[in-house]
Chains A and B, each alone.
Chain A
Amino acid sequence: MWNSLPEFGTGVLCAILVAAAYTFTVALAAGGGRPRLLQSARSGAYGTIALVGLAVLVLAYAFVSHDFRLDYVARYSDRTMSTPWLIAALWGGQDGSLLWWLFLTALFSGACVAWLKGRYRDLQPYVIATQMSVLIFLAILMLFAANPFRTQIGGATPDGAGLNYQLRNFYMIIHPPSLYIGFTSAAVPFSFAIAALVTGRLDNEWIIATRKWMLFSWLFLSIGNALGMLWAYEELGWGGYWAWDPVENAAFLPWLTASAYVHSTMIQERRGMLKTWNVVLICLTFFLTYFGTFLTRSGLIASVHAFAQSSIGNYFAGYMILIVAVCTALILRRADKLKSEGAFESWLSREFTFLINNWGLVGLMVFIALATVWPRLSEWLLDQKATVGPTFYNAFIPPVALVLIFLMGTAPLLGWRKTSERLFYRSFTFPIGAMVVAAVLHLSLGERLGFPAFVAAEPVKESGLWLKLAWLQGKLPLVTMMLVAYNLAVVSQEFYRGIVARQKSKPEGVVTALLRLVSKSRRRYGGYIVHVGIAVMFFGFAGRAWGLDKEASLLPNETMTIGEYTLTYKGTHRDVDHEKTAVVTDIDVAKSGAAAGSIHPARFIYKASPGQPSTEIGRFSTPKNDLYVVVGMINPETKAASVQAHVNPLVSYVWLGVMILIAGALVAMWPEPTEEEAGAFGYVRALGTAATMVMLSVLLALAPSYAYAQQQDMRREGVVEEQTPKEKSLFSQLLCDCGTCPHEPLSTCTCGWAHDMRATIRAELAKGKTSETIIAEYAKQHGNDAVQVQVDSGGARALWALPLVAFIAGGALVYRFIRKRTEPRDAESASDTEARDAYDERLDDELKDLDEDT
């Protein structure tokens, strides 16, 4: 045994802090144009990164050598775990995951330093200094609040507790690392932004430097969020993939601002506008990567899958205050240099569309962030407990998201500066035609295919505005389909026009023209492919409007019908291995009367923790829908099984859309053949590509696989028969208060307590009580936080009113902006530009070389 391992590990953390501080100082000193100090800073950065790698390897050694002196090793591993699981346990808990965060940040810093070499020499010192400052914070955090080398107070135990079995699955191996890659890589563009602000070099130099780094970060945020959705779908066992849980929201927030940035940057490159926006968006993205961690690890917000609470919240709060203070000070200092060079000349212009897109995405981010912290804000400010759940988010987010989808398709059709009438008709005719055709088809055929154009949405409250909101919600499936068709038509038209234009100038086949078209404009066409991916995802999201949920208690050979499926419960059998006993249920599935196969949902009872069984989901996937079955309690004597079934239409398109999105991002990131991007960024990109493809290939191969559902000490029993939309709406607003489940809505919780409560509520509805009365009584009995945001209490009224006020105010601002800022400028003409000189010839030669090189 390595006797001094704990001390050595802590010593390495100290060395990281010292090395990072040294490099920070030298890098700052190099800012005065001293190449020798810059060289020293670069080597210092590499040394710091090597020390971080050393810390990770020492912890890995502790795991594989079962050094249970370390508290972290004892809590997250045991002697039965194989080496791969021991390595995965490195990020199984908070301390290790923070060390992993430090490691990835260091890795990207190293890649950035290696990529920089002799480039951006004026920015380099401050880029390195900023990156080192991030490492300093993380090193301080680890040393004083989350040291993975901390020893157990009572000394080494003979064995450890082992990794939670819910974490021992494929998705939990890859989901945190991929999300962390997205979070940590955002430090690189942030450091360029700070360097640009410090040096005052705020023209396009730093935008060009950060472009592909930000795209890389955005790609992995997308993959991380998608894997999170997939994990939730197959793990949490409630039949959905996104519940607006604080942890999910925390990962989504930086994705929104990063999405805004990758679009907004084009406006600065082309028109010299939105400079302040771009700097703010990058700083905001970096801030949000820490804000999310602060939310979920500080104990501020309760979550279904929050991590253990700890004292690190104060450190994160302090660091976030520092980020805000420094960024604000720098932006205000450079406000003059951040003024736009151009102006908005028409509201029918690409620039204006991108501006609205920025507002929309940032507005969405603010909305989600506020709603996430509302429970705490309500307690602090209003002395009122509150819970904000899917009902609230789903009331407001879909309409805003659809507006953004509309803008996504519209922006490529509009011209720079303004769009002439001729161009307008030429560009919009086909997409709008496709939209109309989609609407007609949906209205005429939707009902027959099982996807009616309109659905009945239950209002939160039976009065004025809420009824209008419910009316709007009921129309969203049709609107979604129309906008999906619109976006697909836009992209098709763009590809078609590009191929035709190419073929006019060069005799090429369609395929050759297509490949060369994409090759020459990777960012543009990669972006279009991403848009297709998002449109396909929205097609999948729309399927939730037609979802079915049912539960029944079945004896062997009994059947239940849900939608077009008939499930016949055949019985159970047991599989035993060294880790667990699996009680497997055999269910035959028939679709529209014809035998379709069988599924085997199960319950796993682990020998290490028999009181915490996990539930294994059975899934039957088709392009049209997923049949998703969970088994609750099984009576050992009668073999009666509590079966919960969901039919999730179109959900496969969500995953397909993710794959297309990733492919598009990779195309956009791929280097132009004329750019000298060999070296570190090439490795990073290659690594990103390889990792993405491997992960997704395995995902595809394992798609119809078993999965685990989160299960705690709850007794799953009882029958759920949700018969009316009113009941469904009511049950989704009220949270189970049994004390054992993680506050699931009554609509999905199948514990005995929830079953009894539903029966009681049904009886009250049958007596004529209104939903509002029932909700008020429930809140009085079980507390305000057992209701997903009431509408009648003071604080809740404010929360519901806020988005509506924001929409109205936003609309008024947009109208005012259009009136004031889009007055046409004095017409410029080509004759206003410079007369030709020798540089024109050189410029023409370089443009010709650019053509040849591609």
Chain B
Amino acid sequence: MKPSDIEGQEQHVAKLARTFGPALLLAVGLAVGVIAGPALGVLVLAGGALLAAIATLWASLRALVGETALAPEDAFALGAPSSEEEQKRAVLRAIKDIEFERTVGKISEEDFSVLLGRYRAEAKRLLRQIDESRAPERARAEALASAFLAKHVPTDEGRGEEPGAKARETATVASGGTPRERGKKRRKGRAPTASTGAVAATEEEAPTVEEAATIEEGMTAADTQRCAACETTNDADATFCKGCGKRLQREEAAS
């Protein structure tokens, strides 16, 4: 079994344990308590707590020494709003609030205009900050997409597209949509996920534009590899899975 297979299985078991473990433990404890007496039921629960303590502390130590892959919420911070987004949402609510107060006549037009101006300026400042913080990842996504498209998608001279337009469009899809679409997805409880050309996890893991181009040069349509974690088919020399974002075991591409 490959190490990545073992890790994948471990994570699968951990996820199952996290989801069903507490309820299962409680159910078993209650059942034992009813059948064999409350003392034994409490003992079962205590055993479960001990196992949970050992498992989580072991996971903590493994993460500390770098034996486990970074969890998505730490690596990508996907699905979680940044502090600027949280603040922006609060400012939007403040705007709605004073609009409501104006509707019911609790604020004068003059005060409304002044406050509205301040809140809008603050909201725009936060939007700019959000865009600025995403700019590096967006540029990287565009570069990866450009390299991939240059290799695989034939240009259509009749369409007269801008050279980078397709790449930017792909990068937009890759990052989960436009900022407005991402925000809407997040509000509806769906984390904006990266699709093709996954955004790099950390600075040390992200391929540079040159590396991405080198990767693209070595790829042929016939070369594929499967992701051990999610079984998605990827290009033979892909570094990260396009389905789940995990690092792939790169196989030697047939020359």
Contact = CB atoms under 8 A, between A and B. Distances in A.
B233 interface: no
Given A118-B78, A674-B187, A44 B60 contact: yes
B45 interface: yes
Interface in B87-113: 87-90, 92-98, 100-101, 103-108, 110-111, 113
Given A117-B80, A205-B83, A420-B108, A847 B95 contact: yes
Given A118-B74, A674-B187, A427 B106 contact: yes
Interface in B9-64: 38-39, 42-43, 45-46, 49-50, 52-57, 59-61, 63-64
A58 interface: yes
A423 B81 contact: no
A64 B76 CA distance: 47
Contacts of B188: 853
B57 A47 contact: yes
A389 to B, nearest CB: 44
A117 B75 CA distance: 11
Q: Could you say which of A15, A205, A416, A834 has the most chain B C-beta atoms within 10 Å of its C-beta?
A: A416
Nearest to A35: B74
A538 B64 CA distance: 55
A829 B109 CA distance: 10
A86 B76 CA distance: 48
Nearest to B53: A50
A204 B87 contact: yes
B124 interface: yes
A46 B117 contact: no
A498 interface: yes
A208 to B, nearest CB: 5
Main secondary structure of the interface of A (DSSP, over half): helix
Interface stretch (A219-227, A688-696, A836-844): A836-844
A842 B127 contact: yes
A504 B38 CA distance: 62
A215 interface: no
Interface stretch (A119-127, A566-574, A810-818): A119-127
B64 to A, nearest CB: 4
Interface residues of B, number: 76
A23 B53 CA distance: 13
A46 B94 CA distance: 36
B49 A57 contact: yes
B86 interface: yes
Contact of A53 (B49, B66, B110): B49
A676 interface: yes
A35 B90 contact: no
Contacts of B93: 850
Nearest to A118: B80
Given A119-B80, A208-B87, A678-B189, A840 B120 contact: yes
A836 to B, nearest CB: 10
Contacts of A121: 77, 83
A178 to B, nearest CB: 22
Contacts of A420: 108
A448 interface: no
Contacts of A830: 113-114, 116-117
B66 A36 contact: yes
Interface stretch (B142-150, B165-173, B178-186, B206-214): B178-186
Contact-residue size bin, chain A (C-beta under 8 Å from the other chain): 35 or more
B202 interface: yes
Given A839-B127, A847-B92, A37 B64 contact: yes
Given A54-B46, A839-B128, A208 B90 contact: yes
B60 A43 contact: yes
Contacts of B252: none
B253 interface: no
B244 to A, nearest CB: 17
Interface string A107-130: 000000000011111110000000
B104 A834 contact: no
A64 B118 CA distance: 62
B167 to A, nearest CB: 22
Q: Could you say which of B42, B66, B96, B180 has the most chain A C-beta atoms within 10 Å of its C-beta?
A: B42
B60 A415 contact: no
Nearest to B59: A43
A205 B57 contact: no
Nearest to A60: B42
A54 B83 contact: no
Contacts of B104: 497-498, 500-501
A676 B81 contact: yes
B75 A35 contact: yes
A846 interface: yes
Contacts of B53: 15, 19, 47, 50-51, 54
Given A39-B71, A675-B187, 7 more contacts: A22-B60, A39-B63, A39-B74, A674-B89, A676-B187, A830-B116, A849-B180
20 contacts: A38-B74, A43-B59, A44-B57, A46-B56, A54-B53, A86-B38, A118-B76, A118-B78, A119-B80, A120-B86, A121-B83, A122-B83, A208-B90, A413-B106, A415-B111, A504-B103, A521-B100, A675-B187, A829-B110, A833-B120
5 A-B pairs with the lowest CB-CB distances in the bound complex, closest first: A118-B80, A833-B117, A43-B60, A47-B57, A50-B53
